[in-house]
Structure 1
Amino acid sequence: MAGTAFTVLGLCLTLLCLLNFIFVFGTGVEFIRFISLQAIFYNISGAVQQPKGDDANREWNIILRDPRVLRPLAVDLGLIIVFILQHSLMATSTIKRWITGIFGVLQRSLYVFSTSVVLQVIMRYWQPVRDAPLIWSASTVPWNTWIPLICFVLHFFAWLIIFTIILIFDYAELMGVKQIYYYCLGLEDPLSMKSLRAQRLYSHLRHPVYLEFLLILWAVPCLSLDRVLLATLFTLYLTCGHSLDEQDYRYLRVQLDRKLEIFSREEITYGQLLAANGSRSENADKEQ
């Protein structure tokens, strides 16, 4: 009877984990559209335009007192503060212990779910500032074509590096999938089974995509006031959460060398298998 109850619990946890994974993955895709594609292609399509006439010639001390500018900035500031509070408080040891005491193995899944919910709120209620000049804008020929194209390439490679780093850092564990899998197998938390050096690195490196995300924030063809607010606050937040030291860098270097060695070994093995299969095919053709 206890085994049946455990199986039902495992199935329920697996279903919740799967639904959470779909929601978080969809949020990630939508966040890429919000933070990268929208900032690049809206400029190409002309949806982002410089104010004309008197609005373009106003001084900044007047612009920053305009309610049409302050109101959306205040809303955006509130949204970012909510994200920072959620993302930081839920990562503290006290809150983690409290959530684990209530939700158990779902602690990590609840963290990424809450982060995704806050990101959904930000993307849906973000207020662009349309009544202030742009800080910069690639609006003259030929830069209105080349600058967005260069930004697109930079963003593409930045996201590619981010996805690679996430995979290296164990995507299943970051999403809370491995915790539930280990729980169903009767094993301990995945992080507790890692080496002390790995646990030390994870405590210092809350955001393994620091430089890449900064590039995405700032490398845009046009920079509006709301984008400045978003990029500045996220830059400060990422900087505060990035505290690697020399020991962490040495550990990362060792792990990278090991993974490259594994990949090289697998590539050599795969090449040998292809060569062996090719030789067998040639021998079979000769026998025929």
Structure 2
Amino acid sequence: MTSLARLFAVLFSLISMTYTFYVVGKLMIFLSLPKTVPLASKWIFSLLDNKSRLETSYGPIALDTLLLIGFIFQHSLMKSEILKKIFKIFKLEVLERSIYCMTSSLCLHYLVNNWQSAQSVILWQFNVEESALLWWTVVVIHTYAWIVIYGGSIILDLPEILGIKQTYYNAKNLGTPISYKSNQLSALYSHVRHPSFISFFVIFWITNLMSLDRLILSVLLTAYMYLAWSPDKRDYEYQKAQLNAKTRELQCIRLKRF
């Protein structure tokens, strides 16, 4: 790569990383903020029988399902060997992760902005407007789940996951970041890139309002995670060891300060 090409790669990865953080923030609000059904919608739905309620949800559910399938297809395509070969042919391996994050963020952004609620059919609902305790319970559970996800990303190497590390190493002629990783971490990367299946499961399913559209989202994304992620016992033991090591490092830093 020429110096100009390396500079472009670094700038693209920075833009991709910034945009990814922005979209993840929108996703957090979309998935985790407690929801309520507007009074006008409640009044209209109360006039409909069960069959009519279900029929009014057909359009939103069809659109939401297409949005989810598009996101899942993009995720699967970006991990395919065919695309990896294309990146290699055009010598874009250093940008592979940044392009992955950028395209994933674009799909998620489009999904969040165009999502249609199907609140005519509700499986369960807890009115958070009447209970501050319930509102905060949902918020705290989701906040903790997101903290676990971000913590796991840091353990896995967040700059490398976002693609910025690859372009920086390339600019400094340091080789690829994966070449500096242990065999255990390389094996983990081949099985899973997003940490904490359980945290995502909690975010998808623990909600005060389980409408039909939320159910479709939870079912499809949980099924995709289960099928696409394949960590084994060695991956678990590695992550556990890394978590213990990070905890000891933080404790040492805290003791030095005091």
User: TM-score with structure 1 length normalisation?
Assistant: 0.81
Tell me, what secondary structure is at the counterpart of 1:127? Answer: coil
Q: Counterparts in 2 of 1:195-234, with a 5 A limit? A: 195-234=182-221
Structure 2 unaligned residues grouped into runs of 5+: none
8 Å contact from structure 2 (residues 64, 213) kept in 1: yes
Take 1:99 and 1:154, find their aligned partners in 2: how far apart are those partners?
A: 40
Q: Is the 8 A contact 1:82 1:118 kept in 2?
A: yes
Aligned positions of 1:7-22 closer than 5 A: 7-22=3-18
Q: How far did residue 112 of structure 1 move?
A: 0.3
Residue 251 (1) aligns with residue 238 (2) = yes
Structure 1 residue 74 corresponds to structure 2 residue 62: yes
Distance change in 2, residues 1:51/1:96 (3 Å) = farther
Q: 1:51 to 1:224 in 2, by over 3 A?
A: farther
Is the 1:137–1:223 Cα contact (8 Å) retained in structure 2? yes
How far has the Cα of 1:123 moved from its partner? 1.0
Whole-Å separation in 1 of the counterparts to 2:88 and 2:134:
47
Q: Is the CA contact (8 Å cut-off) linking 1:50 and 1:133 kept in structure 2?
A: no
Query: How far did residue 179 of structure 1 move?
Result: 0.1
Q: Residues 259 and 158 from structure 1, CA distance in 2 versus in 1: closer, same or farther, beyond 3 angstroms? A: same
Aligned runs of 1:60-139 on 2, under 5 Å?
A: 63-64=53-54, 66=55, 68-102=56-90, 103-130=92-119, 132-139=120-127
* Match of residue 278 from structure 1: none
Change (3 A) 1:208 1:141: closer
Rg (Cα) greater in structure? 1
CA contact (8 A) 1:173 1:190 kept: yes
Cα pair 2:161 2:193 within 8 Å, conserved: no
Conservation of the 8 A alpha-carbon contact between 2:191 and 2:231: yes
- Structure 1 stretches (4+) deviating beyond 6 angstroms? none
Residue ranges of structure 1 left out of the alignment (5+ in a row): 272-288
Separation of aligned partners in 1, 2:251 and 2:38? 44
Paired amino acid for 1:254? A
Partners of 2:43 and 2:124 lie apart in 1 by 9
Residue 117 of structure 2 aligns to a residue in which SS? Answer: coil
Match for 1:122: what amino acid? L
2:50 is equivalent to residue 58 of structure 1: yes
CA distance in 2, matches of 1:26, 1:106: 20
Cα RMSD, aligned residues only: 2.3
Identical residues among aligned pairs (%): 30
Pair 1:100–1:34, CA change in 2 (3 A): farther
Whole-angstrom distance in 2 between the partners of 1:202 and 1:227: 29
Residue aligned with 1:43, SS: coil
- Across the two proteins, how many residue pairs are aligned to each other? 257
- AA aligned to 2:105 is S
User: Which whole-Å deviations, capped at 9, do the CAs of 1:223-245 have from their partners, x for residues lacking one?
Assistant: 11000000110111111123222
Partner of 1:43: 36
Mapping 1:241-280, distance limit 5 Å: 241-271=228-258
Query: CA–CA distance in 1 between the matches of 2:123 and 2:68?
Result: 20
Take 2:80 and 2:30, find their aligned partners in 1: how far apart are those partners? 28
1:24 match: 20
Kept in 1, the 8 Å contact 2:32–2:203? The answer is yes
Q: Which has the higher contact order (CA 8 A, sep 6+)?
A: 2
Partners of 1:206 and 1:241 within 8 A in 2: no
Cα displacement (A) at 1:218: 1.1
